[in-house]
Structure 1
Amino acid sequence: MLIVVVVSLILVLVVGLHWYLWARLVRDTTAAGGWARRAGTAAVVLMPLLTVAGVAAGRAGAPMAVTRALEWPGYLWMAVALYLFLALLASELVRPWLMRRGRRTSGEAPAEPAPAEPAVEGAAREEAAPEVSRRLVVARGIALTAGVVAAGTVGYGAYQAWRPPRVLRVTVPLAKLPRAGHGFRIAVVSDIHLSSLAGREHCKRIVDVVNSTQADLIAIVGDLVDGDVPDLASAAAPLAGLRARQGKYFVTGNHEYFSGARQWIDHVRELGITPLVNERVALGAFDLAGVNDLRGEASGEGPDFGRALGGRDAGRAVVLMAHQPVVVHDAVEHGVDLQLSGHTHGGQLWPGPYVAELANPTVAGLERYGDTQLYVTRGAGAWGPPVRVGAPSDVTVIELASLQA
């Protein structure tokens, strides 16, 4: 029942948004019955349908070429529609002023003797014509400005999404970390989202950035892929070139379960990456643990904190890899010193960070919850629109600091 309510709400919002776009971009700027209005109406109807078709094709396992052909225009439209809506919404504040300014600059017609009744009717029609013209000019000017703003924002955001992720460096002191672990560096990468849109070159760019950090350990904290191994094995191949002295580790994200997490757990192992499936390993100075994503609960493969963290030496520091920040409360209960997460994309598309805050304790960066510190990376890729605005991608190097050093 809840799913039906949520889907219905989303449908109402999408339809309402596109009706508003049609009203301001098509109805207000074109003549009724003309070819321009028919073409604009068709475009406003077709583009969201392409978005739905792209998502459906990806979930249904359609051929990659078909999925790609639907996803490129469909996903880009999601971003364009968002910024068209925001630009037009902002324009509502100035639209009345532009209309009043138009009346002032056009001046008033000189006073004339009162004409007979038929003449009054004709004069009214003549007086209405300039008003209609002003409305049309203002509507078209605002529509053009909104289009330029949206196109520019999405173009910049696409550049941000496809450029190599920036490297962030964060020092995290751990009370239980011995002096021998001081300066240990973990490269945290998440949300690569290999797919029909983000392929081998995208993966290679990220691998090159991660390797450039020369970290001691690499932690891939979920949402590596959107698709099946047969379709994306070539795209994922550069991951075999990741280099770290103390190992490369992986935990599942929610997107792995859309296509079948087990196949990717097996495949990353073939690429020389160790999956942590509700388990931990003892490194020299601390324990490293990993739990499955919450999405796995639907198939009986969810996170098991007792299995991953139970029975260990409580005097040793433990770092937990967990895709979703929301499980930090479980981490606190199990005495985790540092949790590494992704999932949020930092909001990806402004004002997305404000929405992400509603569902995540931390959207990006380092925060403390009791004795547990949580670090959330913005991720190295993008899901849906291949666009990032106000949330640049990153690979974060966490440098552990011992209080005994």
Structure 2
Amino acid sequence: MRLSFIVFIVLYVLIDVYIFRSLKGMGRGLLSYGYLVVSVGILGNLLIQFFVVDDGGGRVLSIPRSYAIGFFMSLLLFKVFFLVLFLGENLIRLIIGGAKKVSDSGADFAVPERRKFVKNLLLGLAAVPFASMLYGMYRGKYNYKVLSYELEFDDLPDAFDGYTITQVSDIHCGSFDNKEKISYGIDLINKQQSDLLLFTGDMVNNRADELDNWMDLFATLSAKDGKYAVLGNHDYGDYYEWNSDEEKKANLEDLKKRERDMGFDLLLNENRFIERDGQRLALLGVENWGGGHFIKVGDLDKAKENVKPDDFKILMSHDPTHWEEKVIDDPYHFHLTLSGHTHGMQFGIEIPGWIKWSPSKWRYKHWAGIYESDRQFINVNRGFGYLAFPGRVGIWPEITVIKLKKKLA
């Protein structure tokens, strides 16, 4: 058994003992024992899911495992907040006691009692993140938001002034467990009645057969000028323990076929032209090109074949790292790039016009929403689905609608 695992278990037990004693000291005996039962049960379930239950040959992101992770993360947040709040309050009371001793040398050192109101307030504050995580697991992940943007371009062809694009990304259908809720999300996409529907990768978590129960739904997606897709890093099956390279390749080909059967035109370092009134815009799609250890098979030069430098260009590239490292400086000038991948970490705080924060910002420079550089735009979609943690808190599932406008002189 690894030393780090032993240390983790010891810390887990010590924290539970502290919280148990604190709750009992507050006169909440029933709650203290209930907390222990829940804590032991959540940890036990996590260990069983990862060390006892057969993972099906590498299905590391199964739904039961995801929920085990979700419950553990939720309780872990409660533990962290409880420790910070109660230990912090203990420190404040110690300081107050010390200050009184210094100011009155004849008095005995005494730590002020913790008031009942303060006890209840701290306990309530510690419970907020726990409740938020549970909400995210059962409601937040279906709290679909339609985010609309209007982008202006000097060189947009007149025929495409007012042209609308709906972008969806990161479906991760292997995580889904509620067809009624997903059906609602699909209907919401179709209700936008956009000219073009673009999907920017990660249809599955690992395997093509995750689509078995969902193909009929996704096949109903439609747009006036068609629907197009690219692959994301998860679509290549890199996070699954395959029996052979041939099996892995067959899975990828199966996924490609399924996406085409659902009506998507899959762009694999390719391009298409959308024409109106004798004018056109170029739609390009690359395979995944990710920063760091993520797979890099996207070929921008190949995708540009037959595209003229002065064409108005929309690029689909799953990972926004590609935009900052390759696309921005490309001489072809890509007017609009559409990406996903980050999920906004499925956790954060967003109040339009006030705050936009997520741990994702520590990993990605461009992690959610519209960004601009050198008259080139990128939209990083927050994702339609969810992965690993089976929920969303503050960073809600997104359907993006972008209207292209001709900039007036």
Fold equivalence (TM over 0.5)? yes
SS in 1 for 2:147: strand
Q: Which structure is larger by alpha-carbon Rg, 1 or 2?
A: 1
- Gaps of at least 5 residues in structure 2 are 26-31, 99-107, 241-250, 350-355
Equivalent residues in 2 for 1:271-286 (5 A)?
271-284=262-275, 285-286=280-281
Quote the Cα distance in structure 1 between the aligned partners of 2:315 and 2:402.
Answer: 13
Shift in alpha-carbon separation, 1:164–1:149, aligned structure 2, 3 A: closer
Quote the Cα distance in structure 2 between the aligned partners of 1:138 and 1:16.
Answer: 32
Deviations 1:337-374 (A, max 9, x none): 11001111223113794431232221111111223211
Shift in alpha-carbon separation, 1:59–1:246, aligned structure 2, 3 A: farther
Quick one: which amino acid aligns to residue 341 of structure 2? H
Equivalent residues in 2 for 1:104-253 (5 A)?
144-145=123-124, 148-198=127-177, 200-253=179-232
Superposed displacement of residue 189, structure 1: 0.8
Quote the Cα distance in structure 2 between the aligned partners of 1:61 and 1:77.
Answer: 19
Asked if structure 2 preserves the Cα contact closer than 8 Å seen for 1:190 and 1:377, the reply is: yes
Quote the Cα distance in structure 1 between the aligned partners of 2:162 and 2:339.
Answer: 20
Quote the Cα distance in structure 2 between the aligned partners of 1:92 and 1:140.
Answer: 12
Quote the Cα distance in structure 2 between the aligned partners of 1:400 and 1:55.
Answer: 50
Asked if structure 1 preserves the Cα contact closer than 8 Å seen for 2:335 and 2:375, the reply is: yes
In the alignment, which residue of structure 1 is the partner of 2:339?
341
Asked if structure 1 preserves the Cα contact closer than 8 Å seen for 2:141 and 2:397, the reply is: no
In the alignment, which residue of structure 2 is the partner of 1:85?
80
Superposed displacement of residue 166, structure 1: 1.4
Are 1:22 and 2:22 an aligned pair? no
Q: Which has the higher helix share?
A: 1
TM-score, L = length of structure 1? 0.76
TM-score, L = length of structure 2? 0.75
Quote the Cα distance in structure 1 between the aligned partners of 2:371 and 2:204.
Answer: 27
Quote the Cα distance in structure 2 between the aligned partners of 1:252 and 1:55.
Answer: 31
Quote the Cα distance in structure 1 between the aligned partners of 2:59 and 2:155.
Answer: 47
Shift in alpha-carbon separation, 1:262–1:172, aligned structure 2, 3 A: farther
Quote the Cα distance in structure 2 between the aligned partners of 1:78 and 1:242.
Answer: 34
Quote the Cα distance in structure 1 between the aligned partners of 2:52 and 2:77.
Answer: 18
Deviations 1:113-148 (A, max 9, x none): xxxxxxxxxxxxxx9xx98xx68x999868843663
In the alignment, which residue of structure 1 is the partner of 2:261?
270
Shift in alpha-carbon separation, 1:86–1:48, aligned structure 2, 3 A: farther
Equivalent residue for 2:380, pick from 376, 381, 390 = 376
Quote the Cα distance in structure 1 between the aligned partners of 2:210 and 2:406.
Answer: 44
SS in 2 for 1:234: coil
Superposed displacement of residue 282, structure 1: 0.8
In the alignment, which residue of structure 1 is the partner of 2:47?
49
In the alignment, which residue of structure 2 is the partner of 1:257?
236
Between the two proteins, what is the percent identity of the paired residues?
Answer: 24
In the alignment, which residue of structure 1 is the partner of 2:248?
none
In the alignment, which residue of structure 2 is the partner of 1:123?
none
Quote the Cα distance in structure 2 between the aligned partners of 1:155 and 1:278.
Answer: 40
Asked if structure 2 preserves the Cα contact closer than 8 Å seen for 1:220 and 1:249, the reply is: yes
Asked if structure 1 preserves the Cα contact closer than 8 Å seen for 2:81 and 2:126, the reply is: no
Superposed displacement of residue 76, structure 1: 2.9
In the alignment, which residue of structure 1 is the partner of 2:389?
385
Provide the aligned C-alpha RMSD in A: 4.3
Quote the Cα distance in structure 2 between the aligned partners of 1:49 and 1:139.
Answer: 36
Equivalent residue for 2:367, pick from 358, 363, 376 = 363
May I ask how many residue pairs the two structures share in their alignment? 369
Quote the Cα distance in structure 1 between the aligned partners of 2:3 and 2:259.
Answer: 38
Asked if structure 2 preserves the Cα contact closer than 8 Å seen for 1:297 and 1:303, the reply is: no
Deviations 1:75-109 (A, max 9, x none): 23223323542453244432334678899xxxxxx
Asked if structure 2 preserves the Cα contact closer than 8 Å seen for 1:178 and 1:404, the reply is: no
Equivalent residue for 2:311, pick from 303, 313, 316 = 316
260-269 or 244-253, larger mean C-alpha shift: 260-269
Superposed displacement of residue 22, structure 1: 3.1
Superposed displacement of residue 297, structure 1: 11
SS in 2 for 1:195: helix
Shift in alpha-carbon separation, 1:226–1:281, aligned structure 2, 3 A: same
Asked if structure 1 preserves the Cα contact closer than 8 Å seen for 2:74 and 2:134, the reply is: no
Quote the Cα distance in structure 2 between the aligned partners of 1:330 and 1:201.
Answer: 40
Equivalent residues in 2 for 1:281-296 (5 A)?
281-284=272-275, 285-294=280-289
Quick one: which amino acid aligns to residue 365 of structure 2? P
Shift in alpha-carbon separation, 1:144–1:243, aligned structure 2, 3 A: same
SS in 2 for 1:336: coil
Quote the Cα distance in structure 1 between the aligned partners of 2:140 and 2:341.
Answer: 16
